[in-house]
A and B are shown apart, each in its own frame.
Chain A
Amino acid sequence: MKLKMYARPNGTYGVRNRIAVIPTVACANHVAEQIAAAVENADAYCHPYGCDQLGRDLDLSFNCLKAMGTHPNNGAVLVLGLGCEEILPHDLYDAIKAEQPMTELLVMQEYGGSTASIERGIEICRAFEKELAKQERVDADLSNLTVGLECGGSDFSSGIASNPSLGEFTAKLCAAGGKAVFGETTELMGAEEILRGHAATPEVFDFIDQRIKAVEQVALDMHVDLRGTQPSPGNIEGGLSTIEEKSLGGVMKIGQEKIVDAIPFGAKATKPGVTYVDTPGNDLACSLGIACAGAQIIIFTTGRGTPMGFASSPVYKVTANAFIAGIMAENFDLDLSEIIEGDMTIRQGGEKLWKDILAVAEGKETVAERLGHREFSLYRVSPILT
């Protein structure tokens, strides 16, 4: 199957043609925000870090920002540095430029103050816009599409209707040669036996199992009941009593498919089929992890209702809870509540998702995009030392 997408110099294909303004440190956030606010197709990848970082934590932040710069949905990149931070602006620029020729660098301590930098950044991005407007979508095989599978603000409806529908979608995507990525390690706790059955090899299961055990150990070491956060107060209000119950509903996102690979946070999914990425359950951190893995679109199921989008990838929102589908109607792309309230089947839910996601891949705007939800953050793996 062919889809119309944007061809990138590194061989990937984008479903959008955006400009990424990437600050290398929090000190450049305001300037990045002002630049992106003035340019219609630009997004600011603001985050609170870039300084006071060391070792693998620093490497992970650098690699995630590089992954955003080289993300197929971005057609041009402005790396925006202050100049004295640990994420070296020149290094990040070089790393991105090697894959994305339309990359520019602006370092405030070399160029000028906030006002001058904002003006220069806007100039650069407007020039990018002119170039990007000349690019057209081309026919690309569906095997170039990676879709992130995510759930958040879960309730009883997630495991009964929206996640099983997403599982049907995943089957169609994999049958057509596409890739699916999922994470949320904490929210796999209690679903190990299901995952063992899905794992294509013992190595895949062992990796996932070890990551779940590592998260569980954190709760044990802290002498706390995980139930303080997993499930969350909203999950509990929505009928989910334990992390096991939440996990068993969440794992339905992958349907009956085999998990062909298991990779760490920040790594790219390379095999057709379903890949597990070790991400936290936290929605924003999970979105970052699956976007770094290559997801050009993220499908996000929710029962409680969550509006969050993501900077690099259109987030497509699905609910099967009729109550929230009414209250937060503008925040959903797809209402599957008829699976619970009426005659809609899980299979029909999956078919609706499939049709709509193909349209999103070819340019249909998601509600999160339309409402301006383009959230971003980095994910830290060590405490601040300085």
Chain B
Amino acid sequence: MKRAMILSDIDNVATLLDDIKKGEMAVLLNAEKEETGQITVLDDIRRGHKTAIRDIASGERILKYGQVIGGASKNIRVGELVHTHNLESLRGRGDKA
């Protein structure tokens, strides 16, 4: 079974620990590697990359390690890949200054 790790209870993303194909299911693990649920992914996702474990609205904060890692630049559905195309940094944005 493919694995995805959630590092904090309040996170809205999980990190895939294995490569996974669109439509496949992954078991969700907490930081202690205990099973907490399952998720079906909507994109091909490489190990180390993230998937949404809740629906995230554009502009909403994205949380990993229980901390803000950026903001959603688009609406993101559960199971979608979360990366630079839909997650933007809120820091060092001279391009927006």
Q: Which residues of A contact B (CB under 8 A)?
A: 155-157, 159-160, 189-191, 193-194, 215-216, 219-227, 230, 236, 238-239, 241-245, 248-249, 303, 321, 340-341
- Kindly state the separation between the CA atoms of A222 and B70 in the bound complex, as whole angstroms: 21
Given A244-B69, A321-B48, 19 additional A-B pairs, CB 8 A:
A156-B15, A159-B65, A160-B7, A190-B69, A190-B89, A190-B91, A219-B94, A224-B95, A225-B89, A226-B91, A226-B94, A227-B92, A236-B83, A238-B48, A239-B46, A242-B69, A242-B87, A242-B90, A341-B17
Instruction: Given A190-B68, A244-B90, check contact A239 B15 (CB 8 Å).
Output: yes
A222 close to B69 (CB less than 8 A): no
Q: Which among A194, A224, A242 has the greatest number of chain B C-beta atoms within 10 A?
A: A242
B82 and A216 within 8 A (CB): no
B residues sitting closer than 8 Å to A (CB atoms) are 5, 7, 15, 17, 46-50, 64-65, 67-70, 82-84, 87-97
Find B50's partner among A193, A219, A230, A239 (CB 8 Å cutoff). A239
Whether A223 pairs with B48 at a CB distance below 8 angstroms is no
Known: A156-B49, A226-B89, A239-B46. A244 touches B95 (CB 8 A): no
A248 with B15: CB separation less than 8 A: no
Q: Are B48 and A242 in contact (CB under 8 A)?
A: no
Q: Which residues of B contact A244 (CB under 8 A)?
A: 67-70, 89-91
Which residues does chain A contribute within 8 Å of B47, judged by CB atoms?
Answer: 156, 239
Q: How far is the CB of A171 from chain B (nearest CB, A)?
A: 17
Bound together, the chains give a CA A190 to CA B61 distance in angstroms of 13
For the complex of A and B, the 9 pairs showing the least CB-CB separation, nearest first, are A226-B92, A239-B48, A156-B48, A242-B89, A245-B69, A219-B92, A242-B70, A225-B95, A219-B94
